[in-house]
Amino acid sequence: MPQDHDRRQWSLASSPMEGGGQELSLGGRWCLDQDLPAADEVAAGLGGEVRCLRVTSSELADWDSGFVAFLTVLCRHCAARGISVDQEALPAGVRHLLTMAAAVPEQKVGRRGQGSENLLVRVGTAALSLAHGAPEMLRFLGEIVLALGRLVAGRAQFRMGDLWLEIEEVGPRALGIVSIISFLVGLILAYLGADQLRMVGAQIFIADLVAIGMVREIGALMTGIIIAGRTGAAFAAQLGTMQVNEEIDAFKTLGISPIDFLVLPRIVALILMVPLLTLYSSFVGMLAGLIISTTIFDIGVFEYYTETVRALELKHFLVGLSKGSVYGAMVAYAGCLRGMQCGRSAEAVGEAATSAVVTGILLITIMASLMTILYYQLGI
């Protein structure tokens, strides 16, 4: 069945006038629900000798924005070729709209997003962006180190109340999600170990696997990742929104360091709380291992407990806690960095939150690898 837009309801006729001019008669319906002619093609069809174009519309039945847009483009092409356009025979409403559209000349600000960039350009742009981003990250790190120095010296513009609020937000309020994830990870570890150890009749070593795995590595890693998603994103969104609302500018104009006032409480809170959450996560994971081992694999509670105590040494706790502190610092750094770098729009706040999570997890992974190699080399 033919659609409305398939039917051509408009008409266009061109005829020469005396004195080197051309008359363009437009008739019928010129509406957006049909395929209208391209104005640049009509302009290209005008002979090179044409100096004046008279547009008439005595047969025009109906028109909308499609008609005005056609005439706007036609007038622009004619102006570029030095052809004057006589609009007197057009309806008054159309003439007014054309005048309004031409009232403010196009600003030469350079259009954005035009054309597709080739791979080389995109790689170059990404490399330049990275080159600009790296010094920015180092500068921010340096500012944090200086602010921590001021905090130790008691000269930071810092409110203790803000630190307590942040501690409450990043610590106790994260217990729920840390409990669930740690319990499930402990459960997975227990099943994974049971499957392998059963083959050699050494199921009791599930306790060793879960305890050392959770305390040394998994507790800190899972807590770091949970905190990156939960708290790192929140830091970036909070600081980003403050950028949008000019709250950070207000600090700067009063000579109050936003690093001291906003970043420091968040960094200190995470450095203090993530090791504690890591410890908690490890115990919940071990509890899951205990429950699974005693209920599914017929290992006695006391037997499991004794094996866990025998397997764990102080160094395992120190390794786990040190990793927790570093991961906490990484998440706080990534969240605050992206928040402070945020642009001034709602979209930029979303990007800052996403980028904080990605950067946080990337930094955690890099630090986890480096610390694992370091502790192995040190024999810890």
Partner 1 sequence: MTEAPHIEVRDLSMAYGSFMVQHDLNFTVNKGDIFVIMGGNGCGKTTLMRALIGLQRPAVGTVFYDGEDFWQVAPEGQERLKRRLGIMFQGGALWSSLTLAENVALPLSEYTRLPAGRISEIVSYKLALVGLAGFEEFYPSELSGGMKKRASLARAMALDPDILVIDEPSSGLDPLTARRLDDLIVELRDSLGTTIVVITHELASILGIGNNSVFLDAETHTMIATGDPRIAVQSGDPRVRHFLTRGAA
Residues forming the site for partner 1 (CB under 8 A) = 105, 107, 109-110, 157, 162, 241-242, 245-247, 249-256
**Sign, Cα dihedral of 83, 84, 89, 92:** positive
- Token reading at 88: 């007197």
Torsion of CA 144, 150, 155, 157, to 10 degrees: 10
| Shortest distance, position 332 Cβ to partner 1, whole Å | 17
User: What does 114-150 look like in DSSP terms, one character per residue?
Assistant: -SPPPHHHHHHHHHHHHHHHHHHHHHHHHHHHHHHHH
| CB closer to partner 1, 7 vs 159 | 159
| CB closer to partner 1, 44 vs 250 | 250
CA 217-315-271 angle, to 5 degrees, is 60
- Token reading at 151: 């905090």
| Shortest distance, position 53 Cβ to partner 1, whole Å | 28
Q: Are 330 and 323 in contact (CB under 8 A)?
A: no
Q: Report the DSSP beta bridge partners of residue 27.
A: 11
| CB closer to partner 1, 252 vs 310 | 252
| CB closer to partner 1, 166 vs 217 | 166
| Shortest distance, position 240 Cβ to partner 1, whole Å | 13
Listed in sequence order, the residues at least 6 apart from 10 whose beta carbon sits closer than 8 Å to its beta carbon are 26, 27, 28, 29, 30, 34, 36, 37
| Shortest distance, position 331 Cβ to partner 1, whole Å | 20
| Shortest distance, position 249 Cβ to partner 1, whole Å | 6
| CB closer to partner 1, 33 vs 247 | 247
Q: Are 356 and 334 in contact (CB under 8 A)?
A: yes
| Shortest distance, position 247 Cβ to partner 1, whole Å | 5
| CB closer to partner 1, 254 vs 314 | 254
Chain centroid, CA 283 distance in Å: 34
- Token reading at 199: 């083959």
| Shortest distance, position 241 Cβ to partner 1, whole Å | 8
| CB closer to partner 1, 80 vs 103 | 103
The closest of 305, 361, 306 to 333, measured between CA atoms, is 361
